[in-house]
Amino acid sequence: MPKRKLGTLEVSAIGLGCMTMNGGQYNPPKDTQEMIALIHQAFERGVTYFDTAEVYGPFVNEELVGKALAPFKGDVVIGTKFGFDIDANGRRTGALNSRPEHIRQVVDDSLKRLNVEAIDLLYQHRVDPKVPIEDVAGTVKDLIARGKVRHFGLSEPGMKTLRRAHAVQPVTAVQNEYSLLWRGPERDELSIFEELGVGLVSWSPLGLGFLTGKLGPNSRFDGPGYTDYRSFNPRFTPENLKANMPLVDMLRSWAKRKEATPAQVALAWLLAQRPWIVPIPGTTNPAHLDEDLGALSVHFTPTELHEFNTAFASITVHGERLRKELLVMSGQEAPTKE
């Protein structure tokens, strides 16, 4: 398994997003023992970065990851996140909360659920518009000094906020959406990450499954018995699914050319963008894990990459990447410190 650097932190070139295993966003929670076996399979294949958050579930995803990775302490990197408000009954309130005292409590609780002595990579899940980022970064800096946290990260921050945070406590990685379905980071974020020496952990690198080529214009996400997050996502309306099929057609064409799958081509393209980008595709299926890791054997020459990007430039992606109440949380700038 090739390695990549997120700041000073070395991880596998592809990580594993664990949210869908039992976090309740896309599918019903899977069997715990089957998911532990899947995480073990990933480790045996060389995956060393595993991604979770207190809000996935809430809580139960951290517990799963902690239990699964207990035999491999010291050999893996676990990333988790704070920043959402969760009430006494374990339900998300919809509010953000990055007050220093809340961060400290979340870290203590996450350490117990993950069954570790220190959190390898602790992200602010979303920027809190009520808390100066200097207070957040300062709190994490103190937790690093106390040995409870090793590295600091941000997820979907505004770039001014990233710079301010980095000045207080160096940011190891930013976790943002980046894929062929959402190339927003190319506008200015990638150049800023490079300038600061910050790695990018790419969530949803397969576009919530769209870039795998396994969805069609007639796919639907509102079946009985469970609520699939994609049923509320603007990209996955019947109209936008149909309109975005040219991208899937392009991936299928390149997959045939590369003797690969559309998912492998999409991941290989992402890996080719910068050497400090680490995608974290999520799965509950061992065959899909094998498929995702197979992307490491797919390579683009500079000429092929130019040809690919030229063809992509003629394709328009339809639909916002998130519904409005979630989109407003992305790129948020923290208030200034008085």
Q: Which residues are known catalytic residues?
A: 56
Structure tokens at 114: 């993950």
Which pairs from 244-247 meet CB under 8 Å and 24+ separation?
244/181, 244/210, 244/317, 244/318, 244/319, 245/216, 245/217, 246/315, 247/180, 247/181, 247/210, 247/211, 247/312, 247/315, 247/317
278 close to 9: Cβ distance less than 8 angstroms: no
Q: Are strands 199-203 and 49-51 parallel, antiparallel or unpaired?
A: unpaired
User: Measured between alpha carbons, how far is residue 267 from residues 283, 284, 335 in Å?
Assistant: 14, 18, 36
Structure tokens at 250: 């392009």
Q: What are phi and psi of 333, to 5 degrees?
A: -100, 135
